[in-house]
Amino acid sequence: MEWRVTPGLTDYATALDEMERRAAAVAAGTDRELIWLLEHPPVYTAGTSADSAELIDPRFPVVRAGRGGRYTYHGPGQRIGYLVLNLANRGRDVRCFVHAVEGWVIAALAEMGIAAFRAPGRIGIWTYDHAGTEAKIGAIGVRVRRWTTMHGFSVNLSPDLSHFGGIVPCGIAEFPVTSAKALGAEYALETFDAALALTFGAFLESLTCARENEA
């Protein structure tokens, strides 16, 4: 498996092309699986369930992503994790995969002292802001083709939160978005990457739930 960290800002369309190419190669058995950590310049991405009414102010480029979900924002200060993994070897259970990704991000945030959690009925990673309100700190969006995963997660470390105002993030208007910085935690991308690496083994182990369910 390749663990790749790309410095600077990577154009979203360029990353999408690379991820599609790699996913096809992984599915064909001609390349390794990939964990790819990166940042994007400001962009709104539209999932397969995106509702045009939720695009309030297209101040940044809008790109059709091909993943599940609705509109989301990517930009500097947000850690993106693209996961190109072969689920054919891990139980072929998409729900288990999404649950495992959520758990991985929650565990990594816990290593940084941020208490995050799942919210019933709402995909993503949640925490409490300073007002005690549930707020979204991370988003999950995946696509699976030939049992090979694409896309993955985004976690708000220090993005400009006003940039989320151009959309209804993930179609959820009643809850705000937040970031590690807004919670008073100043963390570099490298710090979060280290937390992800530390908890990665447990993430892979959690994917065995699919195989156990098959037994």
Write phi, then psi, for 125 (nearest 5 degrees): -120, 130
pLDDT for 173: 74
Predicted local distance difference test score (pLDDT) of residue 175: 85
Residue 190 near residue 70, CB atoms below 8 Å = no
Evaluate if residue 212 carries a pLDDT over 50.
no
What is the rounded average pLDDT of the residues 113-132? 92
Q: Please tell me the chain's helix, strand, coil percentages from 3-state DSSP, rounded to the nearest 5.
A: 35, 30, 35
Structure confidence at residue 171 (pLDDT)? 66
Residue pLDDT, tens place only, 12-64:
999 999 999 999 999 999 999 999 999 999 999 988 887 888 899 999 999 98
- Predicted pLDDT at 89: 83
- The model's pTM: 0.92
DSSP 109-157: HHHTT---EEETTEEEEEEE-TTS-EEEEEEEEEEEETTEEEEEEEEES
Phi-psi region of 111 (alpha: psi -120 to 50; beta: other; left: phi over 0): alpha
The Cα 24–Cα 84 span in angstroms is 10
Interhelix angle 189-206/94-111, rounded to 10 degrees, is: 140
The amino acid sitting at 100 is A
pLDDT tens by residue, 81-116: 999 999 998 889 999 999 999 999 999 999 999 999
How does the average pLDDT of the chain come out, rounded?
91
Amino acid 134: pLDDT: 95
| Residue 7 clears pLDDT 50, i.e. is over it | yes
Which is the catalytic residue, given 26, 35, 83, 170? 170
Question: Per DSSP, what are the bridge partners of residue 81?
Answer: 37, 153
96: annotated active-site residue:
no
pLDDT, tens digit, 9 for 90 and up, residues 142-200: 999 999 999 999 999 999 999 999 988 766 777 899 999 999 988 899 999 999 999 99
- The reported pLDDT for the residue numbered 209 is 59
User: Which residue carries 């960290």 as its tokens?
Assistant: 5
Q: Extract the tokens encoding 168.
A: 């209804």
